[in-house]
Structure formats: C-alpha cells, structure tokens
Chain A
Amino acid sequence: MANTLFDKVWDSHVVRQVKDGPDVFFIDRHFIHEVTSPVAFLGLESRGNSVVYPARTFATADHNTPTINQHLPVADPLSANQLDALERNAKKHGISHWGLGDLNNGIVHVVGPENGITLPGATIVCGDSHTSTHGAFGAIAFGIGTSEVEMVLSTQCIMQQKPKAMRINVNGKLGLGVTPKDVALYIISKQTTSGATGYFVEYAGDVFEDMSMEGRMTVCNLSIEMGARGGMIAPDAKTFEYLKGRAQTPKGADWDKAMKYWETLYTEEGAEFDVEFNYDAADIEPMITYGTNPGMGMGVTKSIPTAESLEGGVDTYKKSLGYMSFNEGDSMIGKEIDFVFLGSCTNGRIEDFRGFCSIVKGRQKAPNVTAWLVPGSHKVVDQIKAEGLDKIITDAGFVLREPGCSACLAMNDDKIPSGKLSVSTSNRNFEGRQGPGSRTLLASPLVAAASAVSGVVTDPRTILNANA
C-alpha cells in the first residue's frame, strides 16, 4: 500500500498502540520556553521523576523578553521570575539553555531550524501552538499543553490519537507581491479557523516546491490557525541545502546515513488522504484580515463580506466587526493605521526583512505610524547587518529592535494601546491579542511595509509597480 509522508513519520514513532486509545508516541526533539514549562517542572519534581533524555530538550527564552536594552535586568518582576525559572530548571536538569544575551537566543521556532535542531523525519513538540512551523522540514511537529510538556520531560513520549490526513495542493505561479504569508492566509480564509480540525496537513504542488525554506516555515507555522494539528512539506534538495553544516545537524558519515533516510520521506504515488483540496496560485493576491480570527481574511483590494453572504453565526460575525469598528462592505485600502509590527515566528526571518526593505528602501516611515521591527533571532540580526538592510531601515526612519516574540502576543512591554489599529505580520488577530482593546490586521511583510510608509492600508503592488 502506498504511504503518505505523514504516515511514514508518524508510524515510525509509535512505541505502542493502546487499545481503543491513543498511540504512545515518541518525541525526538522537545523545545521549551519560559511560559509553558515552569508548572511542568514542578509536576515532574513533585512526582519524584527526572528528565529522561535531557539532550533531546532545548530551552530558549522568548515570549516575555524585552526588545530593547536586553543587556539590562528585565524590569517586570513576573517576567524576570519566569525567565529565571527556565534558566534554573534547565541547569538543574542538564538541558541546554539559550537565555537573554546568548547569541543563539531568539524565538523558539526561529532558532530551532537555524541551529539545525529541526530535522526531516523527526517528531518535535513544544508548549506552543506554532510548533507546526518545523513541519517545513518534513518533520511532524505540533503544539502541546503543559501536562504534555511534563510527559515528554519525564518519559520522552506523549499519548496521541493519530490525526486524519489532509493534502492541500497549490499549483501555478504566484503573482507580483504575493508571498508565502498570503498563500497561508488565503488557505485559512477558505478553510476557516476550524476547517482542518482533527487533521494533519501536507502542503504539495509547485508553489511550495518553488518556495524558500523561510516561506515554507511561514506556511507551516500558520497551519494551526485553520485548526490543523500541524502541517508538513516533503523535504527536498532545498531542505538539505539549508540544513547542511548547521551547528547541530549530523556530520560526516552520520549525515550520509541521515540523507539515506530523508530521501525516503515523500508521499508515494497513489497514497490516499482523508480529504484533499486544490487551489490555484493565480487566485491569490496580497491578503489582509479584517476580523478577529485569522480565517477572516481577504484580498487586500476586496471589501469586507456581508454577514448574509457567510455561513454560520451572524451574531459572532457582527460582534467581531463591532470589536474592529468596521462595517460590512468596507474596503480596507486607505484605512488609517497606527502601528506596524514586523516580526514573530511567522514573519521574523531574514526573507521577511528583505521583503520589508524592498518596499521601504528610499522611502520614509509615515509620521502617524509607530513601527516595531523585531527580528526572530540574533542570527537574523547578524544577517540583516551583513546584508546592509539595517541601513535601509534606519534611513527610512525605522528602528531595529532586539529579538523576541514581542507584540505578537504582547506578554512583554510591546503592547498596542486600546483602540489602535495595527498591521501585523504575526499570526493572530484575536481580540486583545496585541494588548487589551488592540485591533490587528494580519498581513505579509510587504503589505506591512507599504502601509508603514503610507500611513494607511496599502496594496504593496502599487509600490512594486512604481519601483519597476
């Protein structure tokens, strides 16, 4: 029988199948951060357990970290306490730890791949829903809760029912100004935030084959936003090229051995999926969200749909538009904005900064806009500097901040004030996500950049066409 990529990776990690229950599922790589791990360590210790495979767990500080003056002590005592707890727990249990000030520090889903910890065919979990990012390498990666963090620390396994398999094919060529973020927001707008609940998604087709590893990570990152457990893309030459020589990837004979395995990681001809969707690249334009979940998105030139044109809860839809202070039928183009946020595990990578700079180069930040440009890691910062992007950023009136999750979930000081409207490259536009009362429009780095220089929601194609 022909197997899917997902079957191959999942089935090879099942330690035991429980009768009428979940699989005992082995975890190769476990990422932890300061927010969802402290209670897991308390649980572990109160049961008298130890960390069984400390070398399989990797700790980094990201959710709470400030994005300015990281050399100073963290001002918020609660944040400082969580960061200390992570460091203490890691040290006590022999887990590697990249805290503030460490050159490897950054957002967990950015530093994992950068350091070669994320590998094809691996199973990867973290107490963070955007763990789905790592699926870009052909890994099975998904978010877990704190009880499960404790499970992995103390047994290296979790108990999981195997999800159903979905394939999403996108074929054709993407148009001008259409980025991986737009592809993902387009798919989510079609699927809604619950369309893929219960499924694991494989992305296939020309569009993903042509996409960079950074782009693939952006797409897989957003899988959770349509309810999927995770998303994955078969590894190919581009994947292996990205991995080769990174700090923690296998070397020498181990690399050759790994490659032999990795080259078997693809969906075989004739393999069956529980459900399959096909989309055409030509139908995708730069996207923007208008509501309070990532499924409420549309092409940037479109108008907000009317409640009657949608299926399902009219009351919920109207509540959502009420929160955003938008009306059915509104156009987003030209709406005045207050903030722009470039960053997060969705769009805090070098390619995202290149895209942003391609638009703002030679232009000036709009005076009404406060912009927070937050790289995903120190390695991204180094690359920004090496490529001279920092000069473009400064010349255009922007300031580059230090790495972290920042205004994506606003656990640190980077909060959008109540009522203010933000164009954000992050992953969630939920009520209050970027701070109590904040209003978020999710978009690509190009839409964010075009809006940052014009002060209103702007189609980046107008600027790209002017540049051409």
Chain B
Amino acid sequence: MAYDKFEVLTSTAYPLPTENVDTDQIIPARFLKATERKDFDINFFRDWRYNADGTPKADFPLNKEIYAGSKILVGGRNFGSGSSREHAAWSVYDFGLRCVISSAFADIFKNNCLNVGVLPVQVSAEFADTLFAAIMADPKTEIKVDLPNQTVTLLATGESESFVINTYKKDNMLNGFDDIDYLKNIENEITAFAETRPF
C-alpha cells in the first residue's frame, strides 16, 4: 500500500501518557471485520473515545478541540503492545497522524507503522517527559520531526533529541516505497534460495 512520503513534519501533538497502551485499545477486535482497508479512523480508540451510548468522552485527549488536526501523537511507554493487528496502525494513519513518539514501542506495532507510512519515533524517557510537560503547559506547542536529520525538536525551547532508524527504512519513508518493491526486485535470488530449503 503506497503512502505519502515523509520528510519533515511540524505539528502540535496529542498527549496520551498512559503506559502499555495495547492495540486492543487502539482498535478493539469487534471492529476488525472489514475486508477492505478504509475508514479505520472511526473506531480509533473507540472505547476510550466514546461512552457506551456513543457520545464522545470530553476529557479524552483525542476529543479535545485544542489538539484537533495534530499530526503527532505522544504516547506512554510500551506503546502498541499486544495483538499484531495492522488495523491499529491503519487507524493511526486514517485519523490523520503521521508520527507516534514514545519512549518505547512494541515490536510488531512499530513494524506495522513503518509499513503503512506512520513514523514511530523512539525518544528517551526524559525527553518524552519534557514533551508531555510542554504540551500540558501549552497545547499549541509545536514539535518538529525531521526524518532526514533524524531529530525531534520542541520548537518553543529548541530542546532536541536524535532518534534511530535504519538507513533502509529511512529511505523507504523518504521515498514512499515499501518492502514489496524491494523484494520483487530480487525475486530470482529468492527463488534460488527457496530451492535449497529441505521442506
């Protein structure tokens, strides 16, 4: 699935400091019954965003007007644990987010994000706390995520931290490519390898 290229993103951010946010919260299992990839934003954080009667929960950050339109989510430690459902990453993307920042991500969620055009940015616990504090103090605080230079910067103060991403994934994000493009290019090598497998 092609996605828009990612270079430099400057945006306000939704704060969600809860730790161990699992993908069942990001999108509950009962909303995984589609056979096409569309409109996963509707049920993004369904049970945290809405009351049982369908009314929005006013105090949930994703419902607060003050953050509306933000393209970044700053999440608590161990974000995206649990189920491998890529629907969680789709719902992040469909909601309009292009970047999730956390001090730790679960592996499968992180891979899924990279595969669908959402940049997972892992920062130190201290820098995550700095970001939360800044957003809480001023919801209009802007964060700049610079993929070419691999830095994340709090614009108001200039505080900055670099982040790690391997060159291959970085190139993919910068160009909007994905792994299938790469693998299809080395098809002969894979076929030759497959013939050596014992079973």
Q: Are A28 and B18 interface neighbours, CB within 8 A? A: no
Q: With the chains together, A81 CA to B168 CA distance in Å?
A: 37
Contact of B190 among A128, A147, A157 (CB under 8 A): A157
Q: Are B18 and A159 interface neighbours, CB within 8 A? A: no
Q: What residues on A are CB-neighbors of B199 within 8 Å?
A: 28, 119, 122, 250, 254, 258
Contact of A431 among B1, B24, B33, B52 (CB under 8 A): B24
The yes or no answer to A156 lying at the interface (CB within 8 A) is: yes
The yes or no answer to A161 lying at the interface (CB within 8 A) is: yes
Residue of B nearest to A226 (CB): B81
Q: Are B84 and A143 interface neighbours, CB within 8 A? A: yes
Interface residues on A, range: 35 or more
The yes or no answer to A207 lying at the interface (CB within 8 A) is: no
Q: Are A82 and B89 interface neighbours, CB within 8 A? A: no
Cβ of A418 to closest chain B Cβ, rounded Å: 7
The yes or no answer to A47 lying at the interface (CB within 8 A) is: yes
The yes or no answer to B91 lying at the interface (CB within 8 A) is: no
Q: What residues on B are CB-neighbors of A354 within 8 Å?
A: none
Q: Are B115 and A147 interface neighbours, CB within 8 A? A: yes
Q: Are B104 and A81 interface neighbours, CB within 8 A? A: no
**Interface residues of B, count at CB 8 A:** 58
Cβ of B124 to closest chain A Cβ, rounded Å: 15
A410-B178 contact, Cβ under 8 Å, with A36-B86, A159-B183: no
Q: With the chains together, A261 CA to B76 CA distance in Å?
A: 45
Q: What residues on B are CB-neighbors of A316 within 8 Å?
A: 18-20, 76
Q: What residues on B are CB-neighbors of A261 within 8 Å?
A: 198
Q: What residues on A are CB-neighbors of B87 within 8 Å?
A: 146
Encode contact with A along B80-116: 1 for CB under 8 Å, 0 otherwise: 0111111101000000000000001111100110011
A145-B1 contact, Cβ under 8 Å, with A28-B197, A154-B184, A410-B29: no
Q: With the chains together, A405 CA to B19 CA distance in Å?
A: 27
Q: Are B78 and A411 interface neighbours, CB within 8 A? A: no
Q: Are B179 and A42 interface neighbours, CB within 8 A? A: no
Q: Are A81 and B35 interface neighbours, CB within 8 A? A: yes
Q: Which residues of chain A in 251-276 are interfacial with respect to chain B, using CB atoms and an 8 Å cutoff?
A: 254, 257-258, 261
Q: What residues on B are CB-neighbors of A21 within 8 Å?
A: 166-169
Q: Which residues of chain B in 130-153 are interfacial with respect to chain A, using CB atoms and an 8 Å cutoff?
A: none
Q: Are A18 and B197 interface neighbours, CB within 8 A? A: no
Q: What residues on A are CB-neighbors of B1 within 8 Å?
A: 43, 147
The yes or no answer to A321 lying at the interface (CB within 8 A) is: no
Q: Are B111 and A194 interface neighbours, CB within 8 A? A: no
A79-B33 contact, Cβ under 8 Å, with A151-B179, A151-B180: yes
Residue of A nearest to B104 (CB): A194
Q: Are A156 and B186 interface neighbours, CB within 8 A? A: no
The yes or no answer to B189 lying at the interface (CB within 8 A) is: yes
Cβ of B3 to closest chain A Cβ, rounded Å: 10
Contact of B194 among A26, A49, A431 (CB under 8 A): A26
Interface centre among B25, B116, B167, B197 (most CB of A within 10 A): B197
Q: With the chains together, A150 CA to B108 CA distance in Å?
A: 15
Beyond A24-B186, A36-B86: 5 further Cβ-contacts under 8 Å?
Answer: A144-B111, A146-B86, A194-B78, A428-B83, A436-B28
- 27 residue pairs bridging A and B, Cβ less than 8 Å apart: A16-B186, A19-B168, A22-B166, A26-B197, A28-B199, A35-B32, A42-B35, A128-B83, A129-B82, A145-B86, A146-B37, A146-B86, A147-B115, A151-B179, A161-B166, A163-B107, A197-B105, A250-B199, A258-B199, A293-B22, A293-B81, A295-B20, A313-B77, A316-B20, A411-B29, A430-B24, A432-B25
What is A's interface to B at a CB cutoff of 8 Å?
A: 15-16, 18-22, 24, 26, 28, 35-36, 38-39, 42-43, 47, 49, 53, 63-64, 76, 78-79, 81-82, 85, 119, 122, 127-129, 131, 143-148, 150-151, 154-159, 161, 163, 193-194, 197-198, 224, 227, 229, 250, 254, 257-258, 261, 293, 295, 312-313, 315-316, 319, 409-411, 418, 428, 430-433, 436-437
A-B interface, 3 closest residue pairs, ranked by CB to CB distance from nearest: A21-B168, A145-B86, A143-B84
